[in-house]
Structure 1
C-alpha cells in the first residue's frame, strides 16, 4: 500500500471540516465535564459526587453502544453530527442556567449521553469514505493527536474560564463551541446519504443494533481486532486512574496526566508520519507491550519528574492502534461500518471505566504505586496474549 502524507490528508476539504469540528468538540467536552465537576462540588462539598459528575458523560456509552448504534448507519452522517452538537449545546445551557438539583444535573448528562456513541460513530465511519487507503490511517492519527492537544488546552482553558466566569460561564462557553461546530458542519460539510441500503426493511433501532452487534462479535476477525483495541487500553486506564492518589494532589497529577497526553500525541505523530503502512502494522505488538512496561516502574515509588516521563512513554504506546485501523475497515461490512466504529469506541470507553474501577479497588488494598505496577504487568500479558491479532499475517506469496 502506498504511504500517504499529512499534506494529502489536509488537502481533502471534508477532512478539514471534520478536523475543525472535532477539535471544538473535544475541547468543549473537557471544559464541560470540568465545569460540571466543580459545580457539583461547590453545591455538595462531596469529592465522590464531583468525580461522578466528571465521569458522567462517559458512562452512558455502554447503553448507547448496546442499543442505539444502528442509527449511525440509518441516518445521514452530517445530520447526526449536527444533532450531536445541538444536543450538547442545549444540555450545557440547561446545566448552567436551569437551576436543577444535583441529581437532575447528573440525570440530564446521563440521558443525553446515551446518544454520544452514535454521534461519534457517524464521524468515525465517515473518515474512510473521504480518505481512502493509507490516508485513512493518517487521518485517524491526526484526530488522535488533536484529541490529546485539545484535552490539554481544554483543561487549561477550562481552569481559566472557571476562575473568570465560574462553572455556569464555563458551561456557556462549551455551548458556544458546540454551536460553532454545528455551523461549521452545516455550512461546509457536504451531505452524504446513510450507508444502509435496506433501511426500509429493518426493524427498530434497538433490535437492529443488537442483531448487528451479535453479527460483528461472531466474526472471529472482527472480534479479535475489537479485543486488541480494547484490552490493552483497559490496563492503561487503570494505571492512569491511580495517578491522583499516587501523587496525593490534583496539581502534581495534572502534570503527569498532561505528560501522558503529550506522549500519546508524540507517539501517534511519529508512527503516523515516519512509519510505512507495513511497518506500522508490524509495530502494533511491540507498541502494545510498551503500553504496560513503564507502569511497572511505579513499584519503585518515582517522584513527579520520573512519573511524568514514565507516563509519557507508556502513552506513546497507544500508537499501536494505528496498525489495526486498516485491517478493521477491511474486516467490517461497509453497510454497518458506522455501527462497527461505534461498537469499537463504546467498548473502549466502557473498558476504560472498568479498568479504572478495578485498579482503584486494587489500589485500596495494596496502595496506588503497586496497583499501577500490577496494571502495567497486566497490560504486558494482555498484549502478548493478543499477539496473534496484533502481529499482522504475512501477505500471501504469488504461486509460480
Structure 2
C-alpha cells in the first residue's frame, strides 16, 4: 500500500477543520485546568485540593467510557463536537464568575467531564471517514504532534494569562477559544448522519457494545497494546517532580518528553512506509521503557531530560496499531471503539501514576522511575504477538477507493453486518 504524505492530508478541507479545532481544544484545556488549579489553591491553600482540581477534568473518563460511549455513534459527529465546545465554554464561565464553592467547582468539572470521552470519540471516529487508507494513520500522527505542541503552548499561555488576568481571566479566554472552535466546526464541517440507530438505552447499549468489543480477541489485544505501555510511561512521568525535589526543573524534563513524543510521531509518520511503521511497533514499544532505566543512576537534569525525550519518542509505536484497529472494529460502532480506546488510555495513565506514586513512598523516586521503565519493557515483550503485525498484513490491505472513508476490509465487513 502506498504511503500518504502530509500534503495529501492537509489538502483535505475537513481534516484542516478537525485539526484547527483540535489544537484549540488541547490548548484551551491546558489553560483551563491550570487556571482551575490555581484558583482552588488561592481559595484553600491546599496543595492536595489544587492537584485534585488539576486532575478533575480527566477523572470522569472512566465513568463516561463505561456508560455513555454509545452516544458517539447514535448522534451526528459534528453536533457532538460542537456540543462539547459549548459545554466547555459554559463550564469555564461558571467556574470564573459564578462564585461557586470549591466543592461545587470540582463537582461541575467532573459532571461535565463525563461526556468528554463521547466528544473525543466522535472526533476520532470521523478521522478515517475523512482520510482514507494510510492517510488516516498520518492524520493521527499529525494530531498527536499537534497535541504535544498545543499542551506546551497552552501551559505557557495559561501561565501568562494567569499573571496578567488572574484565574477568572484565563478561564474566560478558554471559553472564548471554545466558542471559536464551535464556530469553526459548525461552518467548516458538512453534516454527517449518525452511524447507528438508537434501538435501546444509551447506557445499556454502551455496556453491551463494550462487552462485544472486549470479547473480540483481536480488538482486545490491540486495546491492551495501546494502553499498557502508556500506563508504565505515565508512572515514570508522575515521579519526575518528586525526583527533582519538587523544583521547577521538572517542567524542563516533562517538556522534553513532550518534545520527544512530537519528534517520534513526526519521523515515523513522515518517513516510515506503512509496512515498516507496523514492524516498528514492537521495538518502539520496548524503547518506551528502556531510557527510564537510566534514572536508577540518579542523572542530573540534562541527562534526565534527554532520557525522557528518547523514551517518549517510543510512543510512535501506536502509529503501527492504528490502521489495524480501524480494520478490526465494526464500522457501526467505530465511535464507541475509539472512545473505549481513549477512555482506557486516560484511566490507565491515572492508575499507572497512582501505582508508581505509591511505590515512590517506599523507595527512592529515581528507583521507582527505573521500575516503571522495566515494567514497560516487560509489558512490551508480553504483547509481542499483538505488536508484531501478521505476515503480509499491509500487503493484504489494498488502498481504499478515492473519496471513501473506510478500507476495503471495512467495505467487506459492511456487507456482512459490521
Which TM bucket (shorter chain)? over 0.9
Pairs within 5 Å for 1:5-84: 5-84=5-84
Per the alignment, residue 159 of structure 2 pairs with: 159
Per the alignment, residue 228 of structure 1 pairs with: 225
Per the alignment, residue 338 of structure 1 pairs with: 335
Instruction: Give 1:264's match in structure 2, choosing from 261, 264, 269.
Output: 261
Q: Deviations over 1:3-45 (max 9, x none)?
A: 0000000000000000000000000000000000001111111
Q: Establish whether residue 392 from structure 1 lines up as the match of residue 389 from structure 2.
A: yes
CA shift at 1:129, angstroms? 0.2
TM-score (norm 2): 0.94
Q: Establish whether residue 240 from structure 1 lines up as the match of residue 237 from structure 2.
A: yes
Q: Which runs of 5+ in 1 are unaligned?
A: none
Pairs within 5 Å for 1:57-206: 57-196=57-196, 199-200=197-198, 202-206=199-203
Q: Establish whether residue 371 from structure 1 lines up as the match of residue 368 from structure 2.
A: yes
Q: Establish whether residue 362 from structure 1 lines up as the match of residue 351 from structure 2.
A: no
Per the alignment, residue 399 of structure 2 pairs with: none
CA shift at 1:367, angstroms? 1.7
Quick one: structure 1 residues 354 and 142, their matched pair in 2 at CA, closer, same or farther if it must change by over 3 Å? same
Deviation beyond 2 Å, 4+ runs, structure 1: none
Per the alignment, residue 292 of structure 1 pairs with: 289
Quick one: structure 1 residues 185 and 49, their matched pair in 2 at CA, closer, same or farther if it must change by over 3 Å? same
Per the alignment, residue 403 of structure 2 pairs with: none
CA distance in 1, matches of 2:245, 2:105: 28
Query: 2:360 is paired with a residue of what secondary structure?
Result: helix
Q: Establish whether residue 282 from structure 1 lines up as the match of residue 241 from structure 2.
A: no
CA shift at 1:250, angstroms? 4.3
Query: 1:365 is paired with a residue of what secondary structure?
Result: coil
Per the alignment, residue 215 of structure 1 pairs with: 212
Query: 1:2 is paired with a residue of what secondary structure?
Result: coil
CA distance in 1, matches of 2:294, 2:49: 32
CA distance in 2, matches of 1:51, 1:365: 21
Query: 1:366 is paired with a residue of what secondary structure?
Result: coil
CA distance in 2, matches of 1:350, 1:37: 20
CA distance in 2, matches of 1:367, 1:36: 31
CA shift at 1:259, angstroms? 0.4
Which structure carries more helix by proportion? Answer: 1
CA distance in 1, matches of 2:10, 2:124: 16
CA shift at 1:395, angstroms? 1.6
Query: 1:272 is paired with a residue of what secondary structure?
Result: helix
Q: Deviations over 1:92-131 (max 9, x none)?
A: 0000000111100100000000000000000000000010
CA distance in 1, matches of 2:172, 2:43: 18
Q: Deviations over 1:184-243 (max 9, x none)?
A: 0011111111111xx14x110000000000000000000000000000000000000001
Query: 2:248 is paired with a residue of what secondary structure?
Result: helix
Q: Which runs of 5+ in 2 are unaligned?
A: 397-418
CA distance in 1, matches of 2:359, 2:254: 20
CA distance in 1, matches of 2:247, 2:314: 25
Q: Deviations over 1:254-292 (max 9, x none)?
A: 111000000000000000000000000000000000000
Query: 2:362 is paired with a residue of what secondary structure?
Result: helix
CA distance in 1, matches of 2:305, 2:98: 40
Q: How many residues align?
A: 395
Per the alignment, residue 407 of structure 2 pairs with: none
CA shift at 1:251, angstroms? 1.4
